[in-house]
Amino acid sequence: MAKYFDVHPVTPQRRAIGQVVDILREDGLIAYPTDSCYALGCRLGNKDGLDRIRQIRKLDDRHHFTLMCQDFAQLGQFAHVGNTVFRAIKAATPGSYTFILPATREVPRRLMHPRKKTVGARIPDHPVALALLGELGEPMLSSTLLIPGQEEPLVLGWEIKELLDHVVDAVIDSGECGTVPTTVIDFSADEPEIIRRGAGDTSRFE
């Protein structure tokens, strides 16, 4: 049964954040709010957590998982970011964007795109997500919480608790979350390519 945490959306309680991070460090899987939708998250080295996300979302091995990063210092450890790309990403973050970038050797092979050797990365604009990342001290492996067969993501923590009670270890409820996934921009080639139009404004990349 998943533990349920009622966390303030603007000033998250440190004790609750610490308890959730303890679950992450013990290789737990959590559902948490972001600036776009709810997401599933676990530690980078948590292979079981990765498999559980694949199972919940019915994903194949070509799916790009996201490294949820607190800041550019974290992002830069796991993705190659040149000066031009850095400026473009810097202007759009924190925000509702996921950037596909060439992965560094720090990224476990199972998280990379099998052919392109790329990884998705983003810096969210949500106090709860940033508090989790700050306490954890490393990026979190993350995936939008889209349930197969449902047209829109779930927006309420208690709904997620009811639906996923026996397949996740913790649910954070910070009030209603958005329903639009991130905008996805591929920076792995010479020119940025818009892969998905979502919550982030795409005009700066067109």
Calculate what percentage of the chain has a pLDDT beyond 90.
Answer: 74
For residue 142, which phi and psi values (nearest 5 degrees)? -140, 155
pLDDT tier for residue 115 given thresholds of 50, 70 and 90: confident
SS3 19: helix
With vertex at residue 183, the alpha carbon angle to CA 182 and CA 187, rounded to the nearest 5 degrees, is 125
- pLDDT score recorded for residue 129: 97
Query: Would the pLDDT of 114 be above 80?
Result: no
Q: What is the pLDDT of residue 155?
A: 82
Is 164 a residue whose pLDDT tops 80?
A: yes
Sheet with 30-33, strands from edge to edge, namely 3-6, 170-173, 30-33, 38-43, 140-144, 66-68, 118-122, 97-102, 183-186, 193-196
Q: Across residues 4-24, what is the average pLDDT?
A: 97
What is the per-residue pLDDT across 120-163, written as a single tens digit (0 to 9) for each? Answer: 999 999 999 999 999 999 999 999 998 888 877 878 899 999 99
Q: How high is the pLDDT of residue 152?
A: 78
Rg (CA), the chain: 16
> With a threshold of 0.75, does the pTM exceed it?
yes
Residue 92 pLDDT more than 90?
yes
Determine the Cα–Cα distance for residues 80 and 3; give it in Å rounded to an integer.
Answer: 37
Are the C-beta atoms of 93 and 123 separated by less than 8 Å? yes
- Could you tell me the domains of the chain? 3-200 (3.90.870.10)
Q: Residue 52 in contact with residue 113, Cβ under 8 Å?
A: no
Could you give the CA distance from residue 157 to residue 180 in angstroms, rounded to a whole number? 16
At 64 the pLDDT is 73
40-81: pLDDT as tens digits: 999 998 999 999 999 999 987 777 789 999 999 999 999 999
* pLDDT above 80: residue 113: no
Predicted confidence at residue 108, as pLDDT, reads 80
